[in-house]
A and B are shown apart, each in its own frame.
Chain A
Amino acid sequence: MLMELDADVIGKDEVILVTGATGFLGPTVVRTLLDRGFRRVRCLTRTAGRETRLPDVDGAGHRVEVFRGNLLSRDDCVAATRDAAVILHLAAARGEKSFPDAFLNSVVTTRNLLDASLRHRCLRRFVNVSSLTVYSNARGWRVPLDESCPVERQPARRSDPYCFAKVKQDEIVTEYGRRFGVPYVIVRPGYVYGRGNEAITGRVGIGTFGVFLHLGGTNTIPFTYVDNCADAIVLAGITGGIDGEVFNVVDDDLPSSRRFLRLYKRAVRRFASIYVPHALSYAACDLWERYADWSEGQLPPVFNRQAWRTYWKRTRYSNDKVKLRLGWMPRVSTAEGLRRYFESCREKLQHA
């Protein structure tokens, strides 16, 4: 049953700031905002020359304002957040291999943005885009992973800088909500896929050791297609009455890892893969973790039991809350999303 939704927190002519606007997800979020009739979208981008990814930069309505800046600069943050009623905070450190870099580019930047927005006193919604990886996923597999699942209490032990940074980012947003009354919403998407992100998620398997180890098996992969994820983020930014809430975003009809891999090989390219049963992958992660500890980090503990629980444990995912409270429905079916994704994988392969 769909709950009756509160009125939007923002009018069509008020400023919406999108950070990370020229990244993978950003342009789709901007396009979604424009499609919904918002006329003043400010796009913060750090990297020069990527503005072309944005829709309507040179359009007649001049609805997209590109702001070049760095979230590590407090001055840039103050300028970027001026008059912003809603901030969709997408910018994050993706792919950082070091904890300090990931932390700096996720947590310090978020703090700067929050501090800057407090100055202007006009913020009505701060959407923090987090990730499903923050959950500890320590409960039994029959219990669906939803928003009530505990977050990692010792994220550093996961040895995953991205997870550590996202947990800390969520913490600082929550703290600003509690201490300063920042009206925030946290969105935790699953694996966002689509054109521009053609990698095979590590939840399916890894190619680290020269051969692709298929670790997912019959696990459900928590995909969300880029358009669907953008819809959820925009809804989280504009829907009233949801301050302080957390929403997980995964699509419907999710494929198992095995099915995904089969479809990928059929549609994109064939390659050898070895299936590693769950018991074996767990034992290997356990062993790796113990060895890393015993050897004082000669091998970094990148494979460990906490990581296994998050990425390779059999898990069911729920999107009930985001549907119920935001009225969100995946606009692109998983079948269609995968078709587009495979097509873009093929194109990328041809141009490689």
Chain B
Amino acid sequence: MLRAAIVGCGKIADAHASQIRRIKGSEIVGVCDREPLMAKQLCERFSVARSFSDVNDLLDSAHPDVVHITTPPASHFDIARACLDRGCHVYIEKPFTIRAGEAEALVALAASNDLKLTAGHDDQFSHVARRMRALVRSGYLGGPALHVESTYCYDLSEPGYARALLGDRQHWVRRLPGGLLQNVISHGIARIAEFFTTDAPQVIAHGFVSPPLRRMGERKIVDELRVIVSEEDRLTAYFTFSSQMRPSVHELRVYGPRNGLLLDQDHEILLRLRGRRFKSYGEKFFPPLLFARQHLSNLVTNAKTFLARDFHMKSGMKYLIEAFYQSILHGTAVPIPYAEILRTARIMDAIFDQLGDATIHRPVFTRERRAYGHV
């Protein structure tokens, strides 16, 4: 039996508690939040025996084997270090840490204490992502990936988190060095990082506050980002983050020397992009048929998964947690290699370093004046 604990009882903690509960051989032995009421509500809803408001009390009293850290990112490093010091394995929600240096320190500490770590990049373990990984490993691309395009959108017009963030000038997300981006782009960056091999690829980033947000008086939250990542003229990647693009997609395209793949996370669709071309007008008629067949195949796969009761919205998280627990119990490799976690952190560092003060003194176009002016 693996004894799990959750530190931080906000929205994402619910997902962790739900998925841990689905994993045989594990139990939640305690939850912790600086706000005791928040810890108690999680306890009550998930029938957890004990709640704490201090992480040290949790570690001393509940003796968990593994701790899930689901607090705001600024506290990840200190809490993770405390857990590793007390002999606990640690699952840290994304973003792993604020800076890559902290991530490196945690990985080193885990290694020296013979403990394991993982990052909450659960999108990489959704059904469709696993299908894609299997195809890549089978050699479908025809060799190493040459180019990757990751698009990760975030619709700020949705209520809830976005409303809270935009309406609250003191919101914790605003205090992150990378602001909104730091809290949400990890999934999209991690997808790219998976294909790279060097520790720190080259990064060119361009970010800005979108005109709709600027019209609302927002100057700090960069909600549009375009990034080029490259590795020794062998592999390149584009990363796009947008709050304004519609549809608000979460996509990954991978191109190899022979074929490509398209992963559509929102619809759990995986399409094979065939490298060979048909002759003459065949190129106009056969590919649509082949795509139709692939879409139908995706539909059948999704339906089968649903009927098998394994199509939960957070099925990727369940898979990741389960794989992490297995690696702890059996001493096998962790589901996300540390090099990949660190690469993701370094790419994010490079992006935020380059954006710097990009959010102020940018020209803004107003329809009324029909001119560019500084605001």
Contacts and interface: CB of A to CB of B under 8 A. Distances in A.
A97 interface: yes
A135 interface: no
Given A70-B170, A100-B10, A298 B312 contact: yes
B9 A295 contact: no
Interface string A212-247: 000000000000000000000000000000000000
Given A99-B14, A294-B309, A107 B168 contact: no
Given A100-B14, A108-B35, A295 B160 contact: no
Contacts of A108: 35, 37-38
Nearest to B41: A103
A243 B312 CA distance: 47
Nearest to A300: B313
B37 A111 contact: yes
Q: How large is the interface on B (under 10, 10 to 19, 20 to 34, 35 or more residues)?
A: 20 to 34
B327 to A, nearest CB: 23
A99 B45 contact: yes
Contacts of A73: 170
Contact of A298 (B13, B38, B167, B311): B311
B44 interface: yes
Interface string B139-170: 00000000000000000000110001001101
A347 interface: no
B129 interface: no
The residue in A96, A97, A297 that gathers the most chain B C-beta atoms within 10 A of its C-beta is A297
A108 B13 CA distance: 17
A239 to B, nearest CB: 30
Interface string A98-128: 1111011001100100000000000000000
A46 interface: yes
A296 interface: yes
B11 interface: yes
Contact of A168 (B35, B41, B159, B167): B41
Contacts of B37: 103, 107-108, 111, 172
A100 B167 contact: no
Contacts of A211: none
A95 B164 CA distance: 13
B32 to A, nearest CB: 14
Contacts of B291: none
Interface string B14-42: 10001001100000000000010110011
8 contacts: A98-B14, A99-B14, A100-B13, A100-B41, A104-B10, A108-B35, A297-B312, A298-B311
Given A103-B38, A296-B309, 6 more contacts: A95-B159, A98-B14, A99-B45, A100-B38, A107-B37, A111-B37
